[in-house]
Amino acid sequence: MKHGLRLCILILFLAQISLAQRSYPTLGKVIYEDPSFEKLLPKDSKVEVLASGFEWSEGPVWNKEGNYLLFSDVPKNKVYKWEEKTGLSVFLEPSGYTGLGLYSDEEGSNGLAIDSKGRLISCEHGDRRISAMPLNGGGKLTLADSFDGKRFNSPNDVTEHSNGSYYFTDPPYGLSKKHADTSREIPELGVYRIAKDGKVTMEIADLSRPNGLAFSPDGKTLYVAQSDPDKAIIMSYPVETSGKIGAGKLVYDATAMVKAGKAGLPDGLKVDKDGNLWSSGPGGMLILTPAGKLLGRIDMGELTSNCAWGNDGSTLYMTVDGYVCRIKTNTKGAGW
């Protein structure tokens, strides 16, 4: 009996060692455009591939309470869960379209967030809404599905401000015929705000393809990425005390990189504790100062859609076409 107990303890010990020493394949390379970038990513930094086989991975978000990553596979209408000990599993299906038949080639959830109430906030392409779902069990609540009585196009990315409002983008990518879809009811591709009282307002109306968005560490600036190949830019907007969004200004123009043949567009982005922007873009990830200086790139060699801070806030998780990856940094995400 004692020998059996010792054997079980030994097996558990070896299993723990195996998990601690688990290695992953690597992908891409870090490119240093400015020497100061080494302070954020050391020269020996490597991108690990945690999981693969997805059609289009998107919307990563880290659950601090459960210590796991959630992300969307948009065409497959699923949200996946990844955690270090157990790996990959399906977390939610369907994730963004609950109707009959095939809706579009991108019908599932896209951007995800976990709000101050611990709920999963989802941008649902097919159901054309922003939803909230308790992570401890329970059904979804629709936060917003229309503006002035007209249905959204396909909500794409969402973030919560400390003032209790949710801000999200509404490009046409989830519609069957995209921009030309006859079911479109709102001509603008807007950036919207859902106030604490549930009122929906269009805050930005003049972007051609608004996509990812994030706030500066102090919450006074909203950054919005535009995934238009003819105007591949990142904009910044002041956030007024009322929650309204002021006039925007250009932070970075990546159009020349697109025209030079680098694959990808400004898409999902996050901000670190010092206000630096970590944005998907042409060639992979672009890392910029708040003033828009390019510090460096994580050249993935694949289309990169989005990113999220995780673990203790210093690990950057990335959704990269059919992959989910991560890289350890020397900074932490804003708010950690």
Q: What is the residue whose two structure tokens read 């919560």?
A: 160
Q: Domain range spanning residue 152? A: 24-328
Q: What is the mean pLDDT of residues 166-195?
A: 98
- 174 domain residue, yes or no: yes
Q: What is the pLDDT of residues 231-279, one digit of tens each?
A: 999 999 999 999 999 999 999 999 999 999 999 999 999 999 999 999 9
Residues 6+ away with beta carbon under 8 Å from 68: 62, 81, 82, 83
Beta-strand relationship, 284-288 and 277-281: antiparallel
Cα pseudo-dihedral 91, 93, 98, 99, rounded to 10: 170
CA distances from 229 to 130, 161, 267, 276 (A): 26, 29, 11, 23
**Residue 77: which H helix or E strand, with range?**
none
- 2 domain residue, yes or no: no
Task: Using pLDDT thresholds of 50, 70 and 90, give the confidence band for residue 7.
Answer: very low
Q: What is the pLDDT of residues 112-170, one digit of tens each?
A: 999 999 999 999 999 999 999 999 888 999 999 999 999 999 999 999 999 999 999 99
Instruction: Give pTM, 2 decimals.
Output: 0.93
- 7 domain residue, yes or no: no
What pLDDT is recorded for position 149? 97
- 207 domain residue, yes or no: yes
Q: Is the pLDDT of residue 190 over 80?
A: yes
Structure tokens at 263: 């694959």
- 8 domain residue, yes or no: no
Residues 6+ away with beta carbon under 8 Å from 36: 295
Question: Count of domains in the chain?
Answer: 1
Q: What is the pLDDT of residues 110-119, one digit of tens each?
A: 999 999 999 9
- 111 domain residue, yes or no: yes
- 103 domain residue, yes or no: yes
CA distances from 26 to 212, 323, 328 (A): 26, 11, 13
Contact assessment for residue 288 and residue 254, using Cβ atoms and an 8 Å cutoff: no
What pLDDT is recorded for position 22? 74
The per-residue pLDDT of the chain, averaged, comes to 94
- 191 domain residue, yes or no: yes
- pLDDT-wise least confident of 19-28, 157-166, 225-234: 19-28
What pLDDT is recorded for position 17? 39
Q: What is the mean pLDDT of residues 299-307?
A: 97
Q: What is the mean pLDDT of residues 288-314?
A: 98
Domain of 126, CATH number, reads 2.120.10.30
Q: Is the pLDDT of residue 62 over 70?
A: yes
Task: Using pLDDT thresholds of 50, 70 and 90, give the confidence band for residue 21.
Answer: low
Q: Is the pLDDT of residue 10 over 80?
A: no
What pLDDT is recorded for position 269? 98
What does the alpha-carbon distance between residue 114 and residue 29 come to, in Å, rounded to a whole number? Answer: 30
Q: Is the pLDDT of residue 3 over 60?
A: no
